[in-house]
């Protein structure tokens, strides 16, 4: 095998090819007596739990925009919850209530893992077909070499909590896995969409 072709195959083998981004909920919980809720007409706080202030603001803006798109008045948590209030439960709840929030959606990353999938090389060897031009021509076009490759996927686990601030309790929770999110903005949007679909199926979120 020519050195250039060997280098090409090695490059293809080590590359991560066409990794797709998907979100799936692997576990969910809902309060046994939870009533169907609707975002329409309600002010809902969007909260992303992280010590990285930049990521927090990006994520909360994205989540607030998603809530607003669904009919709620979405408010990014950082606009009403300064850093010194985040660790105080009573202060946090009071500030959210003062802002008119009746509910809160909280996202928190709880894991980040990588998985590697190997797709083996496909090659067929039939020396007899090489003896004459005609048979080799037919065989060559029917049998194309496909180099093997490794695909690395990054899986981010996110905890989603939906609280009723009026009742002061959790009404729905779930843990999701998102593969290969491009950035925190994309991660939040995918998780929000997947959560809304699951909640609708479970009768918690109004259509």
Q: Are 20 and 179 in contact (CB under 8 A)?
A: yes
Query: How many CB atoms lie under 10 A from the CB of residue 123?
Result: 11
Give the pTM: 0.75
Rg of the chain over Cα atoms, rounded to whole angstroms, equals 25
- pLDDT of amino acid 91: 84
Whose structure tokens read 């928190």?
A: 108
For the chain, domain boundaries? 30-117+150-201
Q: Which fold has domain 30-117+150-201?
A: Rossmann fold (3.40.50)
Please provide residue 168's backbone torsions phi and psi, each rounded to the nearest 5 degrees: 70, 35
Average pLDDT along the chain, 207 residues, taken 10 residues at a time:
37 43 92 90 95 94 96 95 74 91 96 79 53 62 62 90 92 96 94 96 91
Query: How many CB atoms lie under 10 A from the CB of residue 66?
Result: 21
- pLDDT of amino acid 150: 73
């Amino acid at each position: 095998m020519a050195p250039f072709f060997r280098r090409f195959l090695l490059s293809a083998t080590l590359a991560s090819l066409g990794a797709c981004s998907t979100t799936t909920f692997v576990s969910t919980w809902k309060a046994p007596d939870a009533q169907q809720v609707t975002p329409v007409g309600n002010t809902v706080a969007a909260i992303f739990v992280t010590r990285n202030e930049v990521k927090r603001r990006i994520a909360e803006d994205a989540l607030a925009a998603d809530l607003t798109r669904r009919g709620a008045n979405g408010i990014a948590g950082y606009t009403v919850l300064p850093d010194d209030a985040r660790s105080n439960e009573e202060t946090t709840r009071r500030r959210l209530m003062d802002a008119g929030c009746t509910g809160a959606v909280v996202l928190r990353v709880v894991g980040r893992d990588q998985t590697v999938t190997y797709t083996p090389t496909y090659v067929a060897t039939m020396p007899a077909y090489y003896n004459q031009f005609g048979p080799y021509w037919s065989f060559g076009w029917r049998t194309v070499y496909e180099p093997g490759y490794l695909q690395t996927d990054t899986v981010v686990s996110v905890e989603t909590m939906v609280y009723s601030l009026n009742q002061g309790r959790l009404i729905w929770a779930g843990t999701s896995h998102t593969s290969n999110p491009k950035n925190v903005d994309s991660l939040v949007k995918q998780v929000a969409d997947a959560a809304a679909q699951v909640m609708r199926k479970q009768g918690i979120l109004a259509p």
